[in-house]
C-alpha cells in the first residue's frame, strides 16, 4: 500500500439531469464544482432484493448488477477518480445457496474474460484482491491473465475483491510477518503500521477516500476494515442495479460536504 497524505482537491465540472420526487430539474449547462475523491470503494448490495421486487430469481439481479459495474467504470473514469474498488464476492458469500454461488462464479468467469479487452481499450489497470483458495483453476487463470495483460495500463485503477474478507486479509498479513520474525528476517520491535499495510492485499493502493454502500444497509460486512479507518462513508437506499451516474454524483456531492481531518481538529478548535 502506498502511504501518502490526503490528496489535494481535484475539481470536476459536470452536467447532469436530476429527478427529485418525480419533479424534473434540468441542470444542463450548470457547473458543479466538486472535489473528486482519489479512491472510491463500493459494496455492491441489493442485487437479490432488486430481482425479487421484479418477481425474478436473485441470479437475475446479479447479472444486472455486473452491468452497472461496467457503467460505473466509465462514470468514475470520466470524473477523474483514479482508483475504483468493488466488493464482488466475500468469503462469507460461500454460505449462500449452491445455485446462487454457481451463478456468481459463472458471472465472474465471463466478466474476467470480457474485462481484458475492455480494459485494454480504455487503458484500465485491473487487480484482484482476496484469497485464491476455493476458486476454480479457470477463474484463477483468468485473474492472472487480466492482471498481466493490464499491468502496464496507466488510466483508472480497477480493483475487484473476490473471495475477500477483511479479517482474513489481516490474519494472512499477520501470519506472513510472524513467519518473517520466526525466520529472523524481522524483529518484533520493527513491526509498524506501514509494515502491516505492506503485507495487505491492497499494498499497491491508497486507502479509499469514499466508501459507498447501496441497498440501505449501514455496515461494512468485513470489507477493508484496516483501510477504511479515515474513509468517508455514504449509505444509500438505492439498490445496486438501480445505481447510476446521478447517484454517483449525489455520493460525491455528499463527500464534498465532509471535512476530512484525519484525527486532527479544525484550526479554530486547536
Query: Going from the N-terminus, what domains does the chain have, and what CATH number goes with each?
Result: 28-164+206-257 (3.40.1180.10), 166-200 (no CATH)
Q: What is the pLDDT of residue 259?
A: 80
242 is catalytic: no
Q: Which cell numbers in the block locate residue 213?
A: 454502500
Express each pLDDT in 146-177 by its tens digit: 999 999 999 999 999 999 999 999 999 999 99
216: Cβ contacts below 8 Å, ≥ 6 apart: 46, 235, 236, 237
Answer yes or no: is pLDDT of 90 > 60: yes
Pair 84, 158: CB distance under 8 Å: yes
Catalytic residue among 26, 29, 45, 133: 45
* 190 counts as catalytic: no
SS3 of residue 141 by DSSP: helix
Q: Which residue ranges are tagged as binding site for Mg(2+)?
A: 45, 232
pLDDT score, position 260:
72
Catalytic one among 77, 93, 145, 222? 93
What residues are paired with 125 via a beta bridge? 157
Between CA 11 and CA 9 the distance in angstroms is 6
**pTM of the full structure:** 0.86
Helix (H) or strand (E) holding 11: strand 11-14
CA distance 195 to 1: 9
Structure-block grid coordinates of residue 129: 484482491
**Band of pLDDT at residue 258, cut at 50, 70 and 90:** confident
Binding site listing for substrate: 46-50, 58, 62, 90-92, 94, 96, 213, 219-221
Closest CA to 62 of 71, 73, 52: 52
Contacts for 90-99 with beta carbons within 8 Å, 24 or more apart? 90/161, 90/163, 90/164, 90/165, 90/221, 90/222, 90/223, 91/130, 91/131, 91/163, 91/164, 91/165, 91/168, 91/222, 92/165, 92/221, 92/222, 94/134, 99/59
| Mean pLDDT value across residues 94-114 | 96
Amino acid at each position: 500500500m502506498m502511504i501518502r497524505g490526503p490528496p489535494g482537491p481535484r475539481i470536476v465540472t459536470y452536467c447532469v439531469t436530476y429527478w427529485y420526487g418525480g419533479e424534473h430539474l434540468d441542470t444542463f449547462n450548470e457547473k458543479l464544482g466538486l472535489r473528486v475523491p482519489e479512491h472510491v470503494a463500493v459494496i455492491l448490495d441489493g442485487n437479490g432484493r432488486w430481482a425479487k421486487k421484479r418477481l425474478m430469481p436473485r441470479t437475475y439481479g446479479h447479472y444486472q448488477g455486473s452491468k452497472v459495474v461496467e457503467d460505473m467504470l466509465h462514470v468514475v473514469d470520466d470524473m477523474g477518480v483514479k482508483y475504483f474498488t468493488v466488493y464482488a464476492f466475500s468469503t462469507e458469500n460461500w454460505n449462500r445457496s449452491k445455485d446462487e454461488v454457481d451463478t456468481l462464479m459463472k458471472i465472474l468467469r465471463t466478466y474476467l474474460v470480457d474485462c481484458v479487452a475492455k480494459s485494454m481499450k480504455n487503458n484500465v489497470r485491473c487487480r484482484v484482491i482476496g484469497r485464491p483458495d476455493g476458486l476454480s483453476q479457470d477463474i484463477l487463470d483468468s485473474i492472472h491473465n487480466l492482471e498481466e495483460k493490464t499491468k502496464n495500463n496507466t488510466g483508472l485503477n480497477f480493483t475487484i475483491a473476490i473471495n475477500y474478507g477483511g479479517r482474513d486479509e489481516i490474519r494472512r498479513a499477520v501470519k506472513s510477518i510472524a513467519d518473517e520474525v520466526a525466520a529472523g528476517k524481522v524483529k518484533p520491535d520493527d513491526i509498524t503500521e506501514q509494515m502491516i499495510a505492506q503485507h495487505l492485499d491492497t499494498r499497491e493502493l491508497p486507502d479509499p477516500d469514499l466508501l459507498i454502500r447501496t441497498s440501505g444497509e449501514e455496515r461494512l460486512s468485513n470489507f477493508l476494515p484496516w483501510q477504511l479507518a479515515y474513509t468517508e462513508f455514504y449509505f444509500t437506499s438505492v439498490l445496486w442495479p438501480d445505481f447510476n451516474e446521478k447517484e454517483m454524483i449525489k455520493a460525491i456531492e455528499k463527500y464534498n460536504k465532509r471535512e476530512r481531518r484525519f484525527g486532527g481538529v479544525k484550526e479554530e478548535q486547536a
